[in-house]
A and B are shown apart, each in its own frame.
Chain A
């Protein structure tokens, strides 16, 4: 069979990928710039078996995801920044209840109701916990329409593997842009979830899903279980991509659409005799701390620069990895503006 090659928007691609991953339930509320996801799923819904429900709010969407995941179904929701803020209570509950599901945040500029243009200002919320309590999300950061497909499927798989919610953190530019994408064949999803609340048969005890543990000892035991899981994820699931790092003196760190711009900065810089390289985290949590730390030990590396569409968020994780061994600089734009290669080159020059 020849490859299924399409020309798609990022939002359409992630919706199609979810269907091919065996989606069983989508619960969402429209918000720009991600509405094509629910639109696409609504158009396709009659041809497939999944449940599609437009919730009355993002608060409800997140809790419907909780319910669907507790019943053992492959479920997801998608939203954009202000909507993801509304979901945080549900996200924390789902993390505590250890339910696999997928969240998608096609981020826009904030704070507040903000702008509908692309932004990376939700990094803290995604990786440091936007909700309460000691929990983590597996956070995947695509930088192309193809990776919207790949990371949607990966997100579902990792969520199942670790019984934990995963988040695809992308932004309006990747949601709206169109690129060539190769779609994988649909999989026949056969969940293996003996813990799911599917009704009590004669041969096992009742399954219960909760995030309420009144007894301190019990709550601490749950926390220990979560932390052990997060440790395993940190050890096994770090993903990143390097570009021209082997002899780099200037190491750019960028994710998502900014990493695409930085790839061009590396090429432009090298045309002008600057030894620039790029480290692109593909997972924002777990973070490629060890890879950055190794680079900080290289004597040839003069400085790091985190480039973001934020006022400086991921740069804190770069600093934690570098631990003061090298200068860590920051360049960013906010408000929905994507920095140009030229302004990033100038920012590097200003530090050399």
Chain B
């Protein structure tokens, strides 16, 4: 099965690393993967996005026009990607800063106050992206949480490994928020 996903938000919110970590974790589970970033003018101050494909078979196109999953962390990204989620697909949106909720009713919409939760409960807004990733794997079961931890261990420089427990807490908080119906 092929899962086509897009992650989008402001530069600095960690959307590119979120996608990278998910792709790496899937690779570690033996799946085929591709990660395609936006690297254009967007990245220089505006919105950034990346497209992640995970599949059991060789991945044809690393880009797509319709997605099974869209994760949007700011309003321009919601405007850009709400319409390109496949019917029946999943849309996760950052509900503590985006003040115009999505309107589609043929997709599974998940409001996630990730920024607020990361600031208040983890006292570190930087791990907001990990919280979102936790929510995504909580909803979709794309990779195991353990694979994400392995991915952090493999990709973070050693000097940052002390931050892994905090990231793990963020992933767990994200998972618990969706299981409790947040």
Residues of A within 8 A of B (CB): 5, 7, 32-33, 115-117, 172-173, 176-180, 257, 260-261, 263-264, 267, 336, 338, 340-342
Of the candidates A180, A260, A340, the one having the most CB atoms from chain B within 10 angstroms of its own CB is: A180
> Within 8 Å of chain A (Cβ to Cβ): is B132?
no
Given A7-B23, A7-B24, A336-B40 in contact, is the A264-B61 Cβ separation under 8 Å?
A: yes
- Complex-state Cα separation, A178 to B16, whole angstroms: 11
The interface residues of chain B lying within 8 Å CB-to-CB of A342 are 65
B63 contacts A261, CB within 8 Å?
yes
A340 contacts B33, CB within 8 Å?
no
The interface residues of chain B lying within 8 Å CB-to-CB of A179 are 33-35, 59, 62
Q: Which residue of B lies closest to A6 (CB)?
A: B27
Q: Which residue of A lies closest to B36 (CB)?
A: A177
B60 contacts A180, CB within 8 Å?
no
- Complex-state Cα separation, A267 to B2, whole angstroms: 13
Interface residues on B, range: 10 to 19
A116 contacts B39, CB within 8 Å?
yes
The interface residues of chain A lying within 8 Å CB-to-CB of B33 are 7, 179-180
> Within 8 Å of chain A (Cβ to Cβ): is B117?
no
With both chains docked as a complex, state the minimum distance between the C-beta of A8 and any C-beta of chain B, in angstroms: 10
> Within 8 Å of chain A (Cβ to Cβ): is B113?
no
> Within 8 Å of chain A (Cβ to Cβ): is B172?
no
> Within 8 Å of chain A (Cβ to Cβ): is B68?
no
Q: Which residue of B lies closest to A343 (CB)?
A: B65
The interface residues of chain B lying within 8 Å CB-to-CB of A267 are 60
> Within 8 Å of chain A (Cβ to Cβ): is B20?
yes
Q: Which residue of B lies closest to A177 (CB)?
A: B36
The interface residues of chain A lying within 8 Å CB-to-CB of B14 are none
Q: Which residue of B lies closest to A338 (CB)?
A: B63
The interface residues of chain A lying within 8 Å CB-to-CB of B35 are 7, 177-179
The interface residues of chain A lying within 8 Å CB-to-CB of B37 are 176-177
The interface residues of chain B lying within 8 Å CB-to-CB of A180 are 27, 32-33
* Given pairs A116-B39, A179-B62, A260-B59, 16 additional interface contacts (CB within 8 A): A7-B27, A7-B33, A116-B40, A177-B34, A177-B35, A177-B62, A178-B34, A178-B35, A178-B36, A179-B59, A180-B27, A180-B33, A260-B60, A261-B60, A336-B40, A340-B65
Q: Which residue of A lies closest to B53 (CB)?
A: A179
